[in-house]
Amino acid sequence: MEVIATRPKSLTNVPFTYCPGCLHGVAHRLIAEAMDELDMRNNMMGVAPVGCSVFAYEFFDCDMAEAAHGRAPAVATGMKRARPDMHVFTYQGDGDLAAIGTAEIIHAANRGENISVFFINNAIYGMTGGQMAPTTLPGMKTTTSPYGRDENDIGYPIRMCELIDTLVSPYFIERVSLLSPQDINKAKRAVKKAMQYNKEDRGFTFIEFISTCPTNWGVDPLKARDWAKENMLPFFKVGNFRDKANAGGE
């Protein structure tokens, strides 16, 4: 029997314009499905900053705002505080969130803002030509590290979940993978839980997606997923870092 997937109501009819094999579309769908299942679309506002995520406002069928590079958590903070009746999320890449936006994400998390942050980690700057990102792995070649990232010179990759987990206020923190169907099913459960907490205004929720960038990695999509499984997952270990609801933190 043929199974036909239906488009979530929280996605527009605009075809995705991401590169072939890019997993942004998978992440978009998981977020949109959670919005639908939790009946949040009519009270949802999203923020898309600079990077490949800049296109998100074309695809999510809810109120969306555009932010300057790295500033999505600050914009989301203002939106939520101005309209506490609404629910707010950001959708950000690693070059945006973990580099120019480090201050914004850390302080929004530290304040425990009632927003959800969805963070795409593909270990590279995707939109601007494949430069080294804060998440680029040791030895990984990019256009700005053609001989591989030298951790003795540049430092080690930043693990954002672990960094945010040092703060007291965040309510929910989880790193998930988009590299296999089984991983995607697990990711959906984490996304929905983060959105449920968002709907209940419990505090700051953070989901990191381990993803790929076949175009800038210079490999086909299947090889990109294999490479990420072999190299990214050992360094960026998936799992839940914090869930205050399950730790008596309600």
Domains and CATH numbers, the chain: 24-243 (3.40.50.970)
- pLDDT of amino acid 248: 56
CA distance 33 to 6: 10
Q: Which two tokens stand for residue 177?
A: 């993978």
- Residues 180-192: pLDDT tens digits? 999 999 999 999 9
Q: Which two tokens stand for residue 250?
A: 């309600």
Rg over alpha carbons for the chain, rounded to the nearest Å, is: 17
Q: For tokens 């109501």, name the residue.
A: 9
Q: Which candidate, 132, 166, 127, 173, places its Cα nearest to that of 149?
A: 132
- Residues 123-158: pLDDT tens digits? 988 777 778 899 999 998 888 888 989 999 999 999
Residue 183 DSSP SS3: helix
Do 49 and 67 contact (CB within 8 A), yes or no?
yes
Residue 86 or 144, more confident: 86
Measured on CA atoms in the order 193, 196, 198, 202, is the torsion positive or negative? negative
Band of pLDDT at residue 4, cut at 50, 70 and 90: low
Q: Give the Cα-Cα-Cα angle 77, 83, 88 (nearest 5 degrees).
A: 50
Q: Is the pLDDT of residue 164 over 80?
A: yes
- Residues 39-68: pLDDT tens digits? 999 999 999 998 888 889 999 999 999 999
- pLDDT of amino acid 249: 45
